[in-house]
Chains A and B, each alone.
With several copies, the nearest count.
Chain A
Amino acid sequence: MNESLSLNARLYEQVALIRRTEEVIAEIYPSDKIKSPVHLAIGQEYICAAVIEHLKASDYACGTYRGHGVYLAKGGSLNSMMAELYGKSTGCAKGRAGSMHLVESQHGVIGMSAVVGTGIPVAVGYALAIKQKKTTDVVVVFMGDGATEEGCFSESINFAALHKLPILFVCENNQLAIHEPIDKRWATPHITQRVSTYGIPTKQFSKPDIFAIHEYVGEQIKQMRQGAGPCFIECFTHRWSEHVGPNEDYDQGYRSLEAAEPWRKNDVLITLGETLAPALRDSIDTKIETKIQEAVNFAEQSPFPDPKELYDYVYAK
């Protein structure tokens, strides 16, 4: 993240980097070079970009199997991520994780999990460790709407609120779990209200307003660093791609392109880009393309792990 840029430019840079990276992943995907299920977050990137903009290097962020954006926004190396998707030994997990379990400990990227909801309490554990170590770091944990249905979500919120832990819970509510709409899963849409009964600040964002999210989160994280305890936000959003894989799937019948239109028309990449001077925007775009191309080259040229390494890392020494 380039600190000399304006906020708009910094946010744009982040959203654009994530968007373009995932688009390139989708392009490469049919070649079968990426032998990993990929869950793209195209259209949703503005949330992690807005939130993570407030984090220091020593803070933590945890995403899900749909975690490319969180990984990149938190400062994870694009080269290592791309190599990981390719299953190469230069990957962030040396080829053992693929796209679903990204990690980069040096940059505070908490290891992500492909079992829905499991990352939530783990992230709370990081927040507990911060409290015990008495630093001012914070943790942000991202989750889908589906993840909030898992019991561990309620358990985690309660514990974090009880111990006033420095953690921000971010629910990216795209109204879908795979192909199942939210009204087949939630008795009511009142999750934000529900979480507020734990006595913590909460806020719902029903529009893709990156600045509103950015502002609210900034204030909350500042207070969190001073011991205010956890916070929860729910951001309505829209997933452009199929649940897993490189394509769009509005033709599959379980959702309509019409319903998607308000979201697609208000694509943050575009609305945010329009606030920048064209020259600045172009230079950012160009830099991003170069960076992504380098990462692809890096991944392609890196070696696969040697089968002899199979038994490495079963136990830590």
Chain B
Amino acid sequence: MSTPNSTRLLKYYEALNEGAAQAMSEDHRVFMMGLDVDDHKGIQGSTLGLVEKFGAERVFTTPLSEDAMTGVAIGAAMAGQRPIHVHIRMDFMMLCMNQLVNIAAKSHYMYGGTVQVPLVVRTMIGKSWGQGAQHSQGLHAMFAHVPGLKVVAPSNAHDAKGLTIQAVRDNNPVIIMEHRLLYSTESYVPEKPYVVEFGQSRVVEEGSDITIVAISNMVVEAIRAAELLSAQGISVEIIDPVTISPLDSATIEKSVDKTGKLLIVDNGWLNCGISAEISARVAESEIITRRVQVKRLGFAATTCPTTPTLENAFYPSPKSIAMAAMNLCNPQSSWEPNDAQCELAYQKQFKGPF
């Protein structure tokens, strides 16, 4: 992230928590609702202590009624409050699509600018330990498809806090897509409230041979892949879009104009995904002057299986990322990183199952 002037290391879930707490402190209209936000686990720690701090009027669980509760949050937002609605898995948001797509996204426009929906939806992608088909989906593309919604995907603790605060201040519905495997990762996080602006892609690492655009926790995997590639003499530029929608593609296009090679690594399916969108923007770019080679990686075009042998093949990994990048840079190469080098970041940190 952009040289944060802090020496305090915070975990991702702590940063989410601090962001919400500060947003609630600075604006009494902010409240938080969602299944289990007030229990002793506090959404893996990310909401822990908030009910004690702000009271049960401002931090409360809900019935298992995702559809209506989304409507309630939207209505409260229209009436001037600033709700944060929390879902422990993105998969469950399929129950909220009607309210999000047909009401939240459209109200400001459909009502001629007379209504605003300052709603924040926090949602988490699950992975590993057999979470399987219905606890693993990264469905950001569906939301990015719809004008009126904003979608952000913090890949580190610094962004987790800054995007939370920005989302609460924004006057539009914003979906924050978090990742379970990032919850225990640490970065430098300033103590004071700050925002990470929407619509600005970040160059995470500069490089000259190939551009890798990575989404959510794939940023972490891409960084590991870049290490492997660097040992092979390949210089990788890594870009984290941060905001999935509205997307800042200019930063990506500039990088691709330099490297001529683009690997997009998504934390979701490829078909009609954000990886397709990025590729399409590059194809239509007015910035890029050279011919570009493009390749996409993401979830396999299957449902997510639970068993580890299949699950490993389902996800992009530092190994598959590095090999795909190598293939773009040097199609003749038969290089394959060895398995010890490829151990995934999360394998050290995450102990499942939820």
Contacts and interface: CB of A to CB of B under 8 A. Distances in A.
Interface in A162-195: 162, 177-180, 184-186
Contacts of B66: 150
A254 B69 contact: no
B340 interface: no
B81 A88 contact: no
A259 interface: no
Contacts of A124: 68, 71-72, 75
Contacts of A244: 353-354
B349 interface: no
Interface stretch (B9-17, B212-220, B300-308): B300-308
A30 B135 CA distance: 21
B40 A179 contact: yes
B5 to A, nearest CB: 29
A269 to B, nearest CB: 27
Contact of A151 (B41, B68, B354): B68
A304 interface: yes
B67 A114 contact: no
B201 to A, nearest CB: 18
Contacts of B6: none
Interface stretch (B97-105, B177-185, B189-197, B272-280): B97-105
A149 B68 CA distance: 10
Q: Which of B81, B94, B110 lies at the interface centre, i.e. has the most chain A CB atoms within 10 A of its CB?
A: B110
Contacts of B171: 315-317
Contacts of A103: 111-112, 114-115
Contacts of B327: none
Contacts of A185: 61-64
B64 A88 contact: no
A314 B301 contact: yes
Interface in A101-119: 101, 103-105, 110-111, 113-118
B309 A306 contact: yes
Interface stretch (B125-133, B253-261, B283-291): B125-133
Given A37-B129, A113-B102, A178-B36, A311 B31 contact: no
Contacts of A38: 353
Nearest to B351: A32
Given A96-B109, A130-B79, A178-B36, A156 B131 contact: no
Given A121-B70, A253-B40, A254-B40, A96 B65 contact: no
Given A35-B306, A124-B75, A149 B108 contact: no
B231 interface: no
Interface in A220-262: 244-245, 252-254
A303 to B, nearest CB: 9
A87 B308 contact: yes
B55 to A, nearest CB: 11
A158 B65 contact: yes
A93 B129 contact: no
Contacts of B69: 121, 155, 159
A95 interface: yes
Contacts of A162: 63
B319 to A, nearest CB: 13
Contact of A304 (B31, B91, B103, B308): B308
B314 A310 contact: yes
Contacts of B302: 310-311, 314
A152 B71 contact: yes
Interface string B115-153: 111100000000001111111000000000001101000
Nearest to B56: A184
A3 to B, nearest CB: 26
A69 interface: no
A100 to B, nearest CB: 6
Contacts of A121: 67-72, 74-75, 99
B64 A126 contact: no
A298 B185 CA distance: 38
B113 interface: yes
Interface in A236-292: 244-245, 252-254
A105 B115 contact: yes
Contacts of A316: 108, 113, 116-118, 171-172
Contact of B39 (A36, A146, A180, A186): A180
A96 B70 contact: no
B354 A37 contact: yes
Contacts of A113: 102-103, 134
A132 B76 contact: yes
Given A180-B39, A307-B312, A147 B78 contact: no
B71 A125 contact: yes
A96 B306 contact: yes
Contacts of B313: 307, 310
Q: Which of A118, A120, A124, A146 lies at the interface centre, i.e. has the most chain B CB atoms within 10 A of its CB?
A: A118
Q: Which of A36, A91, A306 lies at the interface centre, i.e. has the most chain B CB atoms within 10 A of its CB?
A: A36
A129 B61 contact: no
B309 A125 contact: no
9 pairs of A and B residues whose beta carbons are closest in the complex: A125-B75, A121-B71, A87-B307, A155-B68, A95-B307, A93-B112, A36-B130, A129-B79, A94-B112
14 contacts: A35-B306, A35-B353, A37-B352, A60-B79, A91-B307, A98-B306, A118-B102, A126-B75, A151-B65, A159-B69, A245-B353, A312-B113, A316-B117, A316-B171
Given A103-B111, A115-B94, A116-B64, 7 more contacts: A95-B310, A99-B130, A101-B110, A128-B75, A132-B58, A158-B63, A159-B72
